[in-house]
Amino acid sequence: MNSVSSSLPSGESQSIEHNCDVLIIGSGAAGLSLALKLADHCNVIVLSKSDRNEGSTRYAQGGIAAVFDEQDSIDNHVEDTLNAGAGLCDEAAVRFTAEKAKEALTWLINYGVPFDKEENAQGEERYHLTREGGHSHRRILHAADATGEALQLTLNDAVANHPNIHFFERYNAIDLIPSKARQGSCSGVYVWNRQREHVEVIRARFITLATGGGSKVYQYTSNPDVSSGDGIAMAWRAGCRVANMEFNQFHPTCLYHPQARNFLISEALRGEGAQLCHADGTRFMHNFDERGDLAPRDIVARAIDYEMKRLGADCMYLDISHKPADFIVKHFPNIYRKCRALGLDITREPIPVVPAAHYSCGGVMVDFNARTDLDNVYAIGEVAYTGLHGANRMASNSLLECVVYAASAADHILGRLQDPAGDEPIAPWDESQVSNSDEEVIIQHNWHELRLFMWDYVGIVRTNKRLERALRRINLLEQEIQEYYSHFRVSNNLLELRNLVTVAELIVRCAMQRKESRGLHFNLDYPHTEEKPVPTILRPSRHSAHSVPGTLGP
């Protein structure tokens, strides 16, 4: 990889341009897996908006699903996923992912991800498999209750030791740059160097969006601050279709404590016998689903939301104190330590919990090779819509999707490395007509307003009137933000707000198109379920000149 620079017109600062074979925007499980699969054959830049450890992968507690138990089968994994997806999964995508799951996990094991092990009755060592909501068998490989952190650190170490992978930390991707010579392609990406506070260009033959989801659009979320829907918004602006944005998963059990912002209580606790209850210990999940505490997340989140509103309660409780204390500490050490530090002893008392926006089941439409509607732009992980999750993601399929589609994207890109490379000039970023803002309060005000009305109007339970109110506010905010963006130099908060308001519009427009309640989308005005559901697909109303039609499938 070479880095070159050229001068801008007189009076402007110098423009920095970087060149690589593959640019990967995002440094979580999807992005790092792809980088490692490509780096022996080409030069790779990995762009990280914060530091390389900060992202949703790091905070994933539960684990990764794959069939390792002889009593289990791929057909069972497929059936469970289809059931959790509430009739809206792409069955081919589900089977594609389940069939490649063991290979994906074996690849991670070979890199040294420390999944927990145990001895069987014969004294033979094997991987400990846990079970989570929606799964009919134990098939979750995990590293205690901090699987994501173990995965992130392992992949980080491998990436750091590879000479062909170049890490750009504290860079925001701004927009894809359309190719003028190759219609339907992109030449690179404008990026904002947060340390230098300057816009640069990264030219790349292939670009992969691995930016995660957009749950930061909601007031309460389990996601880290970087989850602002950047890749979804960038792809939409560039002419890509998005799908199923109305299905945002609310994790049912986020720790309710003023000092525990964003801390998840893993679904694996319920898999190991934890029970949801009121403050007085009365259980309630059996009133909502025959599977009780092991019902899928959407049902559990709505049940908790219903009980909180019915009782006027600030939270519900999750109780695992009936299990032996040494069992709890061994299997959930991270959760135990976190709660203990806050004065909660989960071996003796229940955990206060509330639902929080957690996972985007929709995203940028891709095929089985992770290709978007743009010829040389790919999308993997939570940013993408593959058809795997349908109307509700089954626990521990998300990290699996990251690694499986990273592998298929890598194979496709490697097969195209001999394609002719374009070398057309890219116009430098023009800041000649903008100035520094002296009213950051405007961004902060719009930011808080957006997240609050999305929580109130487009949250766990929706109505037509709430959605219409939300859309009116979004339209006004979009005008204000675009005017601000046109007149002032970019900043982290401005770039994220610009992307979040786009994601909010996509969520609301998808929700308004769905005239039923299904999975994660529940509308009181349409409580029924349609017999033949289809994905909600949005196409940019004004296609860019470089956008091309795309299709789902192998």
From 297, 393, 466, 514, the catalytic residue: 297
Residues 6+ apart with CB under 8 A from 334: 61, 144, 145, 146
Q: Is residue 339 within 8 Å of residue 353, measured between CB atoms?
A: no
Active site annotation includes 297: yes
- Each residue of 224-262: b (16+ CB within 10 Å) or e? bebbbbbbbbbbbebbbbbbbbbbbbbbbbbbbbeebee
**Which residue type does 33 have?**
S
Residues 6+ apart with CB under 8 A from 172: 49, 191, 192, 194, 230, 490, 492, 495, 496
Q: Point out which residues pair with 5 in neighbouring strands.
A: 16
Q: Tell me the three state secondary structure of residue 206.
A: strand
Please identify which residue in the block is written with the tokens 């816009």.
199
Instruction: Pick the closest to residue 234 from 199, 189, 279, 202 (CA basis).
Output: 189
Q: What angle do CA 525, 528, 529 make, to 5 degrees?
A: 130
Residues 6+ apart with CB under 8 A from 332: 144, 145, 266, 268, 269, 320, 346
From residue 452, alpha-carbon distances to 43, 362, 449, 462 in Å are 42, 21, 5, 14
Taking the C-alpha atoms of residue 388 and residue 85, their distance in angstroms, rounded to an integer, is 8
Q: Tell me the three state secondary structure of residue 173.
A: strand
Instruction: Pick the closest to residue 466 from 533, 424, 511 (CA basis).
Output: 511
The encoded tokens of residue 9 equal: 């017109």
DSSP annotation string for 216-281: GGSSSBSS-TT-S-HHHHHHHHTT--EE-TT-EEEEEEEE--TT-TT-B--THHHHTT-EEE-TTS
Handedness of CA 169, 171, 173, 179 (dihedral sign): negative
Residues 6+ apart with CB under 8 A from 302: 288, 460, 461, 522
Q: Is residue 34 within 8 Å of residue 57, measured between CB atoms?
A: no
The encoded tokens of residue 315 equal: 């939270």
Handedness of CA 227, 318, 348, 312 (dihedral sign): positive
Residue 57 CA neighbour count, 13 Å, CB half: 31
β-pairing, 316-319 vs 3-6, is unpaired
From residue 333, alpha-carbon distances to 258, 327, 352 in Å are 21, 10, 18
Residues serving a catalytic function are 297
